[in-house]
Amino acid sequence: MRAAISLLVLLFSMCGAQTRSTQIEVQTESQSTGAAAAVAEVSPQLDVSAELKELRDMVVELRVTLRYTQDELKVMKAENSDVKERLVASETKVKALEMVTAAQEAKLTAVKTRLAATETEVDNLEKEIKPAPKVAFSAGLTNSGFIESGNTELNLVFSRIITNVGQAYSSTTGFFTAPVRGVYYFRFTVMEVLSSRYMEIQMFKNGQQLMELYEYDSDGKATYLSSGLTLQLEVGDEVNLRIPPGHRLYDDSNNDSTFSGFLLVPL
């Protein structure tokens, strides 16, 4: 019995020791856990403070940057406003210049139209109004005294050229040839010394007689015949003077007998 009781006491003692040991272990573990928790609590607090400081610095930097950016935006807005004003002014000037240019182009078009019309009128006038050819001649008959026709009709060749503008009269053939279509005037004066005889002269156009004049005298003195005609001639028409058979004329250096003509109006 005593042995049993001693065994129970021993068992209780061992349980109590084991219990205290367990409590000590528990307390030790609790203290270790608390220290670790304290360290863990201090460490995050230190990390958060550093991050907060870093964030504050970033915020300050961002604010400074934002301030500079806002200032730059204000300057850019002012410049943009000035540019817009200049652009509006330039557009106004451009519109005004466009209106002026349009008006000038309209005037230029009108001037070109008038110029074209004027050039057309000038061309038409140039076609209608051609430079009038210059045609005029005068020639003396001879310098040798009497010229007689004999038994045949004699074509008179006024060989002593006084004037021959346009070279339409031939001192070789005695024919005037019209260089242009127009109205011409011809005149002649011839002399003969009549002693109971006739003086006679004829004007021809293209071989057809247009006029014949004659004079009779018996005093033995110089007698003159003078006349003229206005003729409408075509290009190439010929005019000449003749005396019939058995007649004569006289001329010397005084140009007693002459033949003249000139263009009055070109047609």
Q: Which of these three, 129, 148, 173, is where a domain ends?
A: 129
Query: Over the stretch 154-201, which tens digit does the pLDDT of each residue have?
Result: 999 999 999 999 999 999 999 999 999 999 999 999 999 988 889 999
Query: Over the stretch 95-147, which tens digit does the pLDDT of each residue have?
Result: 898 999 899 999 999 999 899 998 988 888 877 777 778 999 999 999 999 99
Give Rg (Cα) of the chain: 71
* 197 and 262 belong to one structural domain: yes
User: How many CA atoms lie less than 13 Å away from 233 in the CB half-sphere?
Assistant: 27
* pLDDT grade for 13, boundaries at 50, 70 and 90: low
* 257 and 141 belong to one structural domain: yes
Task: Confirm whether 2 is domain-assigned.
Answer: no
Task: Confirm whether 9 is domain-assigned.
Answer: no
**11-15, 82-86, 193-197, 201-205: segment of lowest average pLDDT:** 11-15
Instruction: Provide the residue range defining the domain that includes 178.
Output: 136-266
What does the alpha-carbon distance between residue 117 and residue 32 come to, in Å, rounded to a whole number?
120
| CATH number of domain containing 247 | 2.60.120.40
- The number of folded domains in the chain is 2
**16-25, 132-141, 212-221, 241-250: segment of lowest average pLDDT:** 16-25
pTM to 2 decimals?
0.55
| Secondary structure of residue 263 in the 3-state scheme | strand
